[in-house]
Amino acid sequence: MQIAHDAPAPEVVVDEQDQAAPYFVTAVERGMAVLQAFTAARPELNFTEAGELTGLSRATTRRLMLTLRDLGFLTSEDARTFRLAPKVLQLGYSYLSSMPLRDIARPHLETLSGRLGETAGLAVLDGAEILYVAIAMCPRLTAVRINLGTRFPAPATAAGRVLLANLPPAALDKALAETTLDRAAGTTSERVFRDRLAEIRDQGWALADSELDDELRGAAAPVADQDGRVTAAVSVSLHSGRQTAEAMQHEVIPQVRNTADLIHADLTGTPRTRP
């Protein structure tokens, strides 16, 4: 089963009044806004459409898009309608490959995946979404397939709930303001969801039971950095027919938490604390 998530992105509007720093280069901001205007729901844009999404004039948008095309970040067959070019991926993969945490986590994820016979991953929070920065894919044909760089709504996933649960209050407020709670979050009540996040923070793990997808279950545990801040989550995803939620609490979650501890220990150079 191939998992993919492409949530519609909000309009990327350039607001020059918010940029008061003397070093700030408005042209760079505008170029990035144009790139961010392309989404799975909007794979092709012309000058007018991109201008409306970014709040830039058509003339400015035209110059930016033609420049980005010449640099290899956009492609066009007719010089009127544009798409993102493969070169854009270089930016994302450069970020992923430069993460020490990713390199530290990879062997532990592979061990976890091998022991459980399921797909394991490492996710970070990006706004109101999670982003998978490392994946250990189980070779079993029926295992859940998650691609490197896949995004999901944070409230709908075990990894996302772990990461949200460990945010400072102001950051949590901001993240929840950027999303809408629905069935995939398990509740549409923000108060109920916040109560569940408090439980997750206290117990140190989260379980998503057939909420993002009726056929999927997930378990996750937090990974803290040298300063004790939770910056990532280890997760395991499996088809609901493989194990019940109750069985996962006894068989999967302890191993997920142990893996998170091992990654934290390697990241910080400290011994494991959980028996």
The pLDDT confidence band at residue 120, using thresholds 50, 70 and 90, is very high
pLDDT surpasses 50 at 2? no
Kindly state the average pLDDT of the residues 56-81. 94
pLDDT surpasses 50 at 43? yes
Structural domains of the chain ordered from first start: 2-88 (1.10.10.10), 99-268 (3.30.450.40)
DSSP letter at 218?
E
Give residue-wise pLDDT tens across range 143-202: 788 888 889 999 999 999 999 999 999 999 999 998 888 876 777 788 999 999 999 999
State the helix-helix crossing angle for 253-268 and 100-116, rounded to 10 degrees.
Answer: 150
Cα gap 169→175, rounded to integer Å? 10
pLDDT of residue 6: 42
Residue with tokens 């044909």: 141
> Of the spans 43-57, 76-90, 261-275, which averages the highest pLDDT?
43-57
DSSP letter at 99?
-
pLDDT: is 93 or 186 the higher one? 186
Q: Calculate ∠ Cα 186-165-97, nearest 5°.
A: 105
pLDDT of residue 28: 94
Count of beta carbons in the 10 Å neighbourhood of residue 194: 16
The percent of residues above 90 in pLDDT, for the chain, comes to: 55
Half-sphere exposure of 120 (CA within 13 A, CB side): 25
Cα gap 109→178, rounded to integer Å? 30
pLDDT: is 241 or 4 the higher one? 241
pLDDT of residue 199: 96
Cα gap 14→34, rounded to integer Å? 10
Tokens of 28: 């760079």
Kindly state the average pLDDT of the residues 13-32. 77
